[in-house]
Amino acid sequence: APRVPGTCGTVVPGAELRLVDPRTGRRVAPGEEGEVLVKSPGLLLGYHGRPEETAAG
């Protein structure tokens, strides 16, 4: 994929991305700034053996 300023690449297979307004949690329109939410079987729920870092998440 070509590099485009203001982007972060392509979505890996099996992952879902959503751009939302961080204040409302609602999806933003194309071209608007927002917070990236990621859902993927490859995401971790915390740091192994590091409960303090996980809690600070």
**Which pTM does this prediction carry?**
0.60
User: Residue 33 domain-assigned?
Assistant: yes
User: Residue 51 domain-assigned?
Assistant: no
Q: Which residues pair with 38 in a beta bridge?
A: 17
Residue 22's domain spans which residues?
Answer: 15-43
Please measure the distance between the N-terminal and C-terminal CA atoms of the chain and give it in whole angstroms: 31
| DSSP track, 1-57 | ----TT---PPPTT-EEEEE-TTT-PBPPTTS--EEEEE-TT--SS-TT-HHHHHH-
User: Residue 38 domain-assigned?
Assistant: yes
Instruction: Answer for the pair 35, 22: CB distance below 8 angstroms, yes or no.
Output: yes
pLDDT at 19: 93
Say how many domains are in the chain.
1
Q: How confident is the model at residue 10 (pLDDT cuts 50, 70, 90)?
A: confident
Q: For 18-51, what is each residue's pLDDT tens digit? A: 999 999 999 999 889 899 999 999 888 889 999 9
